[in-house]
Amino acid sequence: MPQYTPPMRDMQFVMHELLNVVDELKMLPAHADIDADTINAVLEEGGKFAAEVLAPINLSGDAEGCTLDKTTHEVKPPKGFKEAYKQYVEGGWPALSCDPQFGGQGLPHLVNQFFYEMLNSANQAWTMYPGLSHGAYEALHAHGTPEQQATYLPKLTSGEWTGTMCLTEPHCGTDLGMLRSKAEPQADGTYKITGQKIFISAGEHDMAENIVHLVLARLPDAPVGSKGISLFIVPKFNVNADGSLGSRNGVFCAGLEHKMGIHGNATAQIVLEGANGTLVGQPNKGLAAMFVMMNAARLGVGNQSLGLTEVAYQNAVAYAKDRIQMRALSGPKAPDKPADPIIVHPDVRKMLLTARAFAEGGRMLQGYTVLQLDKALKSGDEDERKDAEAEVALLTPIIKAFITDNGWLATSHCMQVFGGHGFIHEWGMEQYVRDARINMIYEGTNTIQSLDLLGRKVLGNNGATLKKFGKKIAAFIEEEGTNEAMQEFVNPLADLGDKVNKLTQELGMKAFGNPDEVGAAAVDYLRVVGHMTFAFFFAQAAKIALAKKDSGDPFYTAKLATARFYFAKLLPETATLIRTCRAGLAPLMEMEEALF
């Protein structure tokens, strides 16, 4: 059975040494009283919950899966899931970063994000039940009426109720403009919602008293396409005027999807038959409200793969130190044993270090981005708020796509380290691979994220936001330009920054001639920019580690070694990616459809 140890030392490094989060957060009025001891204590307790409560039921939950009673349409999650959720609620964990006005603890989103990394490492399938509630909370916090907020937010904050997002339909996935679900206005101002939704994570369960479905549907006079979509609250149980639960609503689970991973999460087919709903926001403006939830979910999905990368790495390292196989090419390293531990073999180390670098790089990028999110939400300075919002928008598709792509690679490498045992369920590695694979399509496929980055976030404003982020990189390069010890990190970073600028300009010119050029280059472009962000953070981490390498703390020695590995073995991938970006559209389109 796999084991998990929360990576508290690295989390504290990212927060307190790399990002100086306490000083940054104290500048925000809502977090003026925050301190490192509070942050560390909360996360240490959260790590115990993840490791001691969730991790032990991950493997069994995957084997058991969820059970649907087709007569009652009720779903039971695997054994132990409901009890773990009860502990989660009793511990006050759902309220961590929620608004105190609705019963929340008001801690920074950054703290919640690190907490959720640990939950995802321990048990991604379980974590998706409360995780989606945060997205529903954010959407209603931003767009709900005062009455809706008073009714739903305290219950979502406490965890008594959970939330879902109901977008996808059998005939449409990402292209929501094609959705057919209908909303008929009623005399009392409510709506009757009819339609079918699929792939609804945590769509039905008995872990909470009520489930708050946020459903996209069309009004009778709605324009065609995405401009005619409205958003509705559709609770599993109708809510009375006094907040108590009333009759069962006309929304139920008709089936469970049997996916290759996340078996412990109820991926539901949801049918709405005249279900009672209330409008969120303005008619036909539902996507704007839903995007609040979707963007939160995209950061969350990146965090899912970060969690899986970390736990897969931990278990692969433990196995590689224990498993003996063959001798090192340079001679025996464990002469007292019949063979050497496989961790002495260079390619095993390459696989392990790839996973380690992807975990540490992802943690730095996530931490930085969510710190900007806290500024966007809580800063009293309007300019700072707008700059932070723009930067979060730029980095969100990178987090979602780059970290989940890396998670797929990392978990696959870690499974490979186990050899044949990696494919055996009880070792846990093949589950991490299966769970990681789905994250690449969740909340908009990684191709959609790439199109969003290049087409909308970069070329959409002539690269203004990317240039602002680039100025931060340039300032760091200028600061360290004469530091001889930093040249191995600064020079490749500066070179890549120049190449990204030139590539962006080139692709922008091509797109003027043919917009399909964006589609041809977008996926590889996102990976190039993802590497640029990782290189920026690893260079900063290396600077800290160099200053403390003689402290006697092996953490800094390991951090420096990981940074050197990243720059030597992973960053060079960008050379190939830049060439494939420049190869353009022609190689993809010259074959006639009939020849496929």
SS (H, E, C) 430-455: HHHHHHHHHCCCCCCCHHHHHHHHHH
pLDDT surpasses 80 at 292: no
pLDDT at 296: 83
Question: Could you confirm whether 391 is annotated as catalytic?
Answer: no
What's the pLDDT tens digit per position in 232-246? 999 999 999 999 999
Residue position matching structure tokens 């019949």: 338
Q: Is it the case that residue 177 has pLDDT exceeding 90?
A: no
**pLDDT tens readout for residues 299-335:** 999 999 999 999 999 999 999 999 999 999 999 999 9
- Position 35 scores a pLDDT of 97
Q: What percent of the chain shows pLDDT beyond 90?
A: 94
- Say if pTM beats, i.e. exceeds, 0.95: yes
State the average pLDDT for the chain: 96
pLDDT digits (tens, 9 = 90+) for 388-400: 999 999 999 999 9
Q: List CB contacts of 280: < 8 A, sequence separation 6 or more.
A: 139, 140, 143, 144, 148, 214, 231, 232, 233, 286, 289
Query: What is the structure's pLDDT at 301?
Result: 96
Does 227 or 418 have the greater pLDDT score?
A: 418
Report the pLDDT value the prediction gives residue 172, as an integer from 0 to 100. Answer: 84
Measured distance CA(467)–CA(3) in Å, rounded: 42
Helix (H, G, I), strand (E, B) or coil at 549: coil
* Spatial separation of the C-alpha atoms in residues 203 and 215, rounded to whole Å: 12
Residue 169 gets the label, from left (phi > 0), alpha (psi -120 to 50) or beta, of beta
Confidence (pLDDT) at 175: 74
- In the predicted structure, residue 191 carries a pLDDT above the cut 90: yes
At residue 173, the pLDDT reads: 73
Lowest mean pLDDT segment, chosen from 38-47, 219-228, 511-520: 219-228
Instruction: pLDDT band for 547, please (50, 70, 90 cuts).
Output: very high
Q: Are 362 and 10 in contact (CB under 8 A)?
A: no
Task: Report the C-alpha gap between 233 and 210 in whole angstroms.
Answer: 12
pLDDT exceeds 80 at position 207: yes
Question: Shortest CA distance to 438 belongs to which of 304, 275, 311?
Answer: 304
Mean pLDDT of 440-454: 95
pLDDT of 226 > 90? The answer is no
What pLDDT does 288 receive? 82
Element holding 101 (H helix, E strand) = none
Look-up: residue for tokens 């996973």?
355
pLDDT at 452: 96
User: Higher model confidence: residue 549 or residue 520?
Assistant: 520
**Per-residue pLDDT, 531:** 98
- Which of 24, 310, 391, 443 is the catalytic position? 443
Per-residue pLDDT at 396: 97
